Amino acid sequence: MIPVLYSFRRCPYAMRARLALQSSRLTVELREVVLREKPEAFLDVSPTATVPCLVTTKDVIDESLDIMKWSLAQNDPEDWLDMPDEGWDLITKSDGPYKSALDRTKYANRYPDSDPAEQRAKAGEFLTDLNMRIDSWIFDRPTIADYAILPFVRQFAFIDKAWFDQMPWPDLQAWLERFLTSKRFAGIMTKYPQWKQDDEVTLFP
């Protein structure tokens, strides 16, 4: 049995899981989930009922960063895991305070007690730090840190792309633009129909 990935095309967590699977050159069965109509097969296996969720012969992995680590532990031809410890700290900051501020900016109506302008400024502090670190990549070549964080920079950028583009983050903006125009990004953003129980198998990548 090949692993099964329950995914949602536009979800940044699912994007980074697909990026790692793509880099690792592993093949999975992709099942595109429509979040308002989650299939029973997905709900039966996912402890959190969130995408992405990877079902292997041994485990169910429903945290996107864990899917990235699992994929690259099987095969890491681009050496993404060969990264300074600082990279893991950046991922933790991205997944924690930065993502919290991003959500309170993008989905301000869900957080009536938060000031979206203040939250955007908090997210901007993380991006300012990233901009100072990036010289083509966060480190001297691409690592898991780049591809774990890029989908969330993309998500923030498109809240207000005109505003994002005029911020003093030239290296960050160039890093994101290279990603958005890359074959790698195009390769994970293929549109798939909603998965149903009796569908033929869709392989990814």
List per-block mean pLDDT (blocks of 10 residues) for the chain, which spans 205 residues.
95 98 97 93 93 95 97 98 98 98 96 95 98 97 98 98 98 98 98 93 96
pLDDT of residue 104: 97
pLDDT above 70 coverage of the chain, percent: 100
pLDDT of residue 75: 98
- Assigned fold of 85-183: Glutathione S-transferase Yfyf (Class Pi); Chain A, domain 2 (1.20.1050)
3-state SS of 79-134?
CCCCCCHHHHHHHHHHHHHHHHHHHHHHCHHHCCCCCHHHHHHHHHHHHHHHHHHC
CATH code for the part of the protein at 4-78+186-204: 3.40.30.10
pLDDT of residue 54: 98
Report d(CA 136, CA 142) in Å as an integer. Answer: 9
pLDDT of residue 72: 98
CA angle, 9 then 39 then 28, to 5°: 50
Report d(CA 152, CA 100) in Å as an integer. Answer: 11
| CA within 13 Å, CB half, 110 | 8
User: What is the residue extent of each domain of the chain?
Assistant: 4-78+186-204, 85-183
pLDDT of residue 96: 98
pLDDT of residue 1: 84
pLDDT of residue 165: 97
Residue in the structure block whose two tokens are 């950028």: 157
